[in-house]
């Protein structure tokens, strides 16, 4: 009996030691994985979840995360979609802990300029929010005429009117670094 107790005790100590070693290895691998995780990977891990993006200009956009690209995300609101560059976000609410790496090399290369060129091609009416300097956000309504490497030309006109030369009040050249968010109608909605 005495030997049985001794061996049982030794076996339980060995099992506990193995469990502790496995826990330590799992924790170490989790820490190592977290070090290499990028924000886009965390966002992809939260696709279709409801998020709040608090921007540096004071705006807060809430919606279901439908896309997390190389340098911008898309939130689906009830009737609109909002394209938000990562650089304009101060913090997120509702972001999960899971990370999902982008497996496609092509998709990893699709950035903000690509999305803006798509909006320019569609001649979509947009509400553009610019990053304000202490006085709050600046909003412009218009259509993207052209997209360069690091800027866009926005034909600004009165909301609700069609983009015609005589309705254009001005053409604003906006550096990508100044963009806080771009809101458009959801696809298929008028």
Distance, CA of 85 to CA of 8 (rounded, Å): 60
Counting Cβ atoms within 10 Å, is residue 164 exposed (0-12), middle (13-18) or buried (19+)? exposed
Confidence of residue 7 (pLDDT cuts 50, 70, 90): low
* Residue-level pLDDT at 1: 60
pLDDT of residue 30: 60
Average pLDDT over residues 163-184: 86
Share of the chain above pLDDT 90, in %: 50
Distance, in Å, from the CA atom of 187 to the CA atom of 33, rounded to the nearest integer, reads 36
Instruction: Judge whether 128 and 140 are in contact, CB under 8 Å.
Output: yes
Q: What is the pLDDT of residues 32-75, one digit of tens each?
A: 565 668 899 999 999 999 999 999 999 999 999 999 988 999 99
Nearest partner of 97 among 44, 54, 50, 53, judged by Cα: 44
Binned at pLDDT 50, 70 and 90, residue 29 comes out as low
For the stretch 75-93, pLDDT in tens is 999 999 999 999 999 999 9
Distance CA 161, CA 80 (A): 18
8-state DSSP, 123: T
DSSP labels for 23-79?
Answer: HHHHHHHHHHHHHH--HHHHHHTTTTSEEEEEETTS-EEEEEEEEE-SSEEEEE-SS
With cut-offs at 50, 70 and 90, classify the pLDDT of residue 164.
low
Residue 146 confidence (pLDDT) above 80: yes
At 108, is the pLDDT very low, low, confident or very high (cuts 50, 70, 90)? confident
């Amino acid at each position: 009996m005495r030997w049985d107790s001794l061996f049982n005790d030794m076996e339980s100590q060995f099992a506990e030691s193995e469990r502790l070693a496995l826990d330590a290895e799992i924790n170490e691998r989790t820490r190592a994985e977290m070090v290499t995780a990028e924000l886009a990977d965390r966002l992809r891990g939260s696709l279709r979840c409801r998020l709040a993006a608090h921007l540096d200009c004071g705006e807060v956009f809430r919606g279901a995360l439908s896309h997390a690209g190389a340098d911008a995300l898309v939130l689906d609101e009830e009737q609109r979609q909002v394209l938000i560059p990562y650089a304009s976000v101060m913090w997120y609410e509702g972001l999960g802990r899971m990370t999902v790496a982008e497996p496609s090399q092509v998709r990893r290369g699709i950035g903000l300029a690509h999305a803006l060129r798509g909006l320019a091609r569609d001649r979509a009416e947009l509400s553009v929010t610019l990053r304000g300097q202490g006085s709050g956000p600046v909003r412009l309504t218009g259509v993207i005429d052209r997209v360069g490497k690091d800027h866009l030309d926005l034909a600004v006109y009165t909301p609700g009117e069609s983009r015609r030369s005589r309705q254009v009040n001005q053409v604003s050249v906006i550096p990508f670094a100044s963009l806080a968010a771009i809101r458009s109608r959801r696809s298929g909605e008028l």
